[in-house]
Amino acid sequence: MTGEIGQLSLILALLMAAVQAFFPLVGAAWGLPLWMAVGRPAARAQGLFLAVAFWCLVQSFIANDFSLAYVAQHSNSALPLFYRISAVWGAHEGSVLLWALILGLWTAAVSVFNRGLGEAFVARVLGILGLISAGILAFILFTSNPFERLIPAPPDGQDLNPLLQDFGLAVHPPMLYLGYVGLAVPFSFALAALLSGSLDPAWARWSRPWTLTAWAFLTLGITLGSWWAYYELGWGGWWFWDPVENASFMPWLLATALIHSLAVTEKRGAFKAWTVLLSILAFSLSLLGMFLVRSGVLVSVHAFANDPKRGLFILVFLGLVIGASLVLYALRAPKVQDHARFHWFSKESLLLANNILLVTAAASVLLGTLYPLVLDALGLGKISVGPPYFASVFTPVVTPIFLLAGIGPLVSWRQGEVTQTWRRVRWMIPLSVGTAVTMGAVFFDLKHFQTLAAVSCALWLAATSLLPLAQRLRRREGLSSLRQPAGFYGMTLAHFGLSVFLFGVAISNQYSVEKTVRLSPGQSVELSGYTFLFKGIQESEGPNYRSDTGWFEVYAGDQKIAELWPEKRFYRVQRSVMTEAAIDWGVRRDLYVALGEALEGDSWSVRLYVKPWVRWIWLGGGLIALGGFLAAADKRYRIARVYGSAPQGALRSTSVPS
């Protein structure tokens, strides 16, 4: 019964999405207020039906309703409740439903928080969101229906992939999708602005908080995914340049470019056409990511598989969305007038450099990700592009970003002062290099020029990003100087977070050590000053698995500093083996133990890592996301003013610094 309610809700949601697309768009084109007014209630109804459908699927998982094929394939009565709920989006059908639900939530949010936007503009935004939603819902109903019945129902389910029976599945996909799908909002804003034919700076101001929020969620989602891969896969790595990781990283790079170019468009009225194009491209790459993951063309830990119908459907959908929006762009963008002028050394030109570098970085990732697929599709051989490609192309492209990110906020709009800026930052150079060398001498060896350069870069960015704050504190009296807009703090925090991230990457990549050894109980092995003593293996039973748990004691000198319990689990239903690494984490280092295989006698193969400063990678990612949320909360975005009616001067005086 629950399944049928879900199915019905999905159909109703599709109908609502069609209504939400048709009436407001036509109404806005013909100037029919009544038709335009349909958008809001339709959007909320669509969101409601999607929520009901999603709840029905959750309920079916909780109630172990194995008469639903999707539940039978991805759950089991022995699966703990927590994992039964996250299993809802553990495979293809449910994760597309989650995608649709999140789009419904974003749409409903737009239908509520639009004070001051013109009626026609709201109608167009909702109409475009409705079109996207209708496409996704048709995809679900025709190719990936999670409510399909299985008759006769099997007595028990085939269980969730053990790799996914983890807390990570509960948080990583929802956060990632909130970001991915959230990019549909700036996309719709951009298309609505193109349709209405007026790209005044107010449009950018409305788009900014939405883009920042989506971007912050995307940052958080990617960071969580990286952390999950680190502790779950047992390979000790935090980023693998896996095609599916790239699929989330490319929209992130473009969205990062977008939040910066939106600042220029809002503040200075420049880069208008470019900002619109970036909005289109960012969402297009997010859809491309969906195609790569959902069509089964990729071979990776994420790839769900598939019948070719699904891939074809998404490919056609992708082509329609990108094609139609680019055609609209080509028709309307040439009419956009861009009068703003700026000096070669100004905030505008530095943000332009930021955009060029980020787009180049995204293009290099796209090349490495798609090239093997294209070659394979053309029958020209099977190749794969390994991490060394990405490392060698990506590093030189992003390095200038780290250097420029510190300077950008210090330079004024329109015309910056080269000498004055130089005077403000010059002492940062010896300071950051000197500190890096000192740190290198005290904590590590100094052999690696690259690491030294990267740490200097990180320190430079940390120091310069805090400089405006320090100067504001010095210039004015007391705590009142701390009363800066949230946008300023958000930016500072995000840039500072980037330096924390870079610091973690530089140190952990260079100084992590790894050892694969064969150990019998009582034997110990030394790694990077720590002694790992293997005490033995104990067997235990979990709810749906049997576990061999290793017992390790870690000593620094004579002192015991940690006990670690890595596991090798055998999941009964899927008859598969899973490695659960054990990690003793710390600010300055992680100790990481993963069991390999049982060898003859009592001995086991064991993989050990000591990873210095690795936590700083995710700490940095978290700070960047927090900065995004903080900036999105800036009060100045919510000042009511009807779109299109504000005088330029008034806008400028209240607009937000980037």
Does 353 contact another protein by CB under 8 A?
Answer: yes
Closest contact distance (angstroms) between CB of 312 and another protein is 17
Is residue 311 within the footprint of another protein (CB under 8 A)? no
State which of positions 122-151 bind another protein (CB under 8 A). none
Q: Quote the least distance from Cβ 43 to another protein, whole Å.
A: 33
Residue 598 touching another protein (CB under 8 A): no
Is 170 one of the binding residues for another protein (CB under 8 A)? Answer: no
The C-alpha atoms of residue 94 and residue 79 are separated, in whole angstroms, by: 17
CB of 393 to another protein, least distance (A): 5
Closest CA to 189 of 271, 262, 286: 262
Selected binder of another protein within 596, 633, 644, 652 (CB under 8 A): 596
Residue 582 carries which DSSP code? E
Nearer to another protein, 194 or 357 (CB): 357
Among 167, 371, 555, 565, which residue interacts with another protein (rule: CB under 8 A)? 371
Q: How far is the CB of 417 from another protein (least distance, A)?
A: 16
- Whether 592 and 629 have beta carbons less than 8 Å apart is answered as no
Give how far Cα 359 sits from Cα of 150, 258, 401, 409, 450, Å.
Answer: 47, 10, 12, 20, 24
Q: How far is the CB of 194 from another protein (least distance, A)?
A: 21
> Are 257 and 355 spatial neighbours (Cβ–Cβ below 8 Å)?
yes
CA 268 – CA 262 distance, rounded (Å): 10
Among 43, 257, 287, 352, which residue sits at the site for another protein (rule: CB under 8 A)? 352
Give the one residue of 575, 587, 640, 649 binding another protein; rule: CB under 8 A.
Answer: 575
| Candidate segments 214-222, 533-541, 592-600, 640-648, binder of another protein by CB under 8 A | 592-600
Q: Which stretch binds another protein (CB under 8 A): 162-170, 219-227, 453-461, 535-543?
A: 162-170
Pick one of 188, 364, 369, 451: the residue that binds another protein (CB under 8 A). 364
Rounded to whole angstroms, the Cα distance separating 383 from 373 reads 9
* Token pair recorded at residue 254: 């473009």
Instruction: Verify binding: residue 430, another protein, rule CB under 8 A.
Output: no
Count the neighbouring beta carbons within 10 Å of the beta carbon of residue 19: 19
Give yes or no for residue 381 binding another protein (CB under 8 A).
Answer: yes
| Binders in 76-95 for another protein, by CB under 8 A | 90-92
- Taking the C-alpha atoms of residue 45 and residue 12, their distance in angstroms, rounded to an integer, is 9
CA distance 504 to 624: 14
Best CA proximity match to 36, nearest among 116, 128, 120, 108? 120
Cα(14)–Cα(570) distance, integer angstroms: 42
Q: Which stretch binds another protein (CB under 8 A): 100-108, 155-163, 453-461, 491-499?
A: 155-163
Which segment (105-113, 313-321, 386-394, 476-484) binds another protein by CB under 8 A? 386-394
Site for another protein in 503-522 (CB under 8 A): 516-518
Rg of the chain over Cα atoms, rounded to whole angstroms, equals 26
Q: Which residue, 198 or 605, is less far from another protein as judged by CB?
A: 605
Question: Which span (121-129, 160-168, 582-590, 624-632) binds another protein, by CB under 8 A?
Answer: 160-168
Give buried/exposed letters for 391-406 (b at 16+ CB in 10 A, else e): eebbeebbeebbebbb
Tell whether residue 644 is a contact of another protein (CB under 8 A): no
Using the rule CB under 8 A, which residue among 308, 396, 522, 536 binds another protein? 396
Q: At 467, is the secondary structure helix, strand, or coil?
A: helix
Token couple for 276: 């619109």
Coil, strand, or helix at residue 408?
A: helix
Nearer residue to another protein within complex by CB, 303 or 315: 303
Bridge partners (DSSP) listed for residue 533: 524, 553
Q: Which span (132-140, 248-256, 536-544, 573-581) binds another protein, by CB under 8 A? A: 573-581
Q: In terms of DSSP bridges, do strands 589-598 and 582-584 run parallel, antiparallel, or are they unpaired?
A: antiparallel
| Binding residue (CB under 8 A) for another protein from 2, 198, 306, 528 | 306
Instruction: With beta carbons less than 8 A apart as the criterion, state whether 290 and 353 touch.
Output: no
**Residue 547's Cα: distance from chain center in Å?**
33
Please identify, using beta-carbon distances, which residue of 482 and 513 lies nearer to another protein.
513
Bridge partners of 518, per DSSP, are: 605
Residue that has been written with the tokens 């984490």 in this structure = 585
User: From CA 182, how far away is CA 177, in angstroms rounded?
Assistant: 8
Q: Are 213 and 629 in contact (CB under 8 A)?
A: yes
- For residues 164 and 280, which CB has a smaller minimum distance to another protein in the complex? 164
State the minimum distance, in angstroms, from the CB of residue 38 to another protein: 40
Q: What separation in angstroms does the CA of 596 have from each of 61, 522, 573, 604, 605?
A: 33, 17, 21, 7, 5
The residue within the footprint of another protein, chosen from 44, 149, 343, 641 (CB under 8 A), is 343
Smallest distance from another protein to CB 621, Å: 25
Q: Min. distance of Cβ 362 from another protein in angstroms?
A: 10
Give the list of residues 6+ apart from residue 644 with CB closer than 8 angstroms, or none.
118, 121, 198, 200, 202
Q: Which alpha helices (DSSP H) does 144-242 contain, by range?
A: 167-182, 184-196, 201-232
576 binds another protein (CB under 8 A): yes
Structure tokens at 166: 């983890």
Would you count residue 13 as binding another protein (CB under 8 A)?
no
Instruction: Give me the least distance between CB of 228 and another protein, in Å please.
Output: 14
Q: What is the closest distance, in whole angstroms, from the C-beta atom of residue 643 to another protein in the complex?
A: 26
Dihedral sign, Cα of residue 38, residue 43, residue 45, residue 49: positive
Selected binder of another protein within 8, 163, 322, 439 (CB under 8 A): 163
CA gap 27, 30 in Å, rounded: 5
Q: Which is nearer to another protein, 20 or 346 (CB)?
A: 346
550 lines the binding site for another protein (CB under 8 A): no
Task: Figure out which of the listed residues 83, 89, 342, 616 binds another protein, where binding follows CB under 8 A.
Answer: 342
Q: Could you give the 3-state DSSP secondary structure of residue 451?
A: helix
Out of 112, 312, 324, 367, the only residue in the binding site for another protein (CB under 8 A) is: 367
Task: Choose between 38 and 397: whose C-beta lies nearer to another protein.
Answer: 397
Write out the residues near another protein by the rule CB under 8 A. 90-92, 161-164, 296, 299, 301, 303-306, 338-339, 341-344, 349, 352-353, 356-357, 360, 363-364, 367-368, 371, 381-386, 388-389, 392-393, 396-397, 516-518, 574-579, 596-597, 599-600, 605, 607
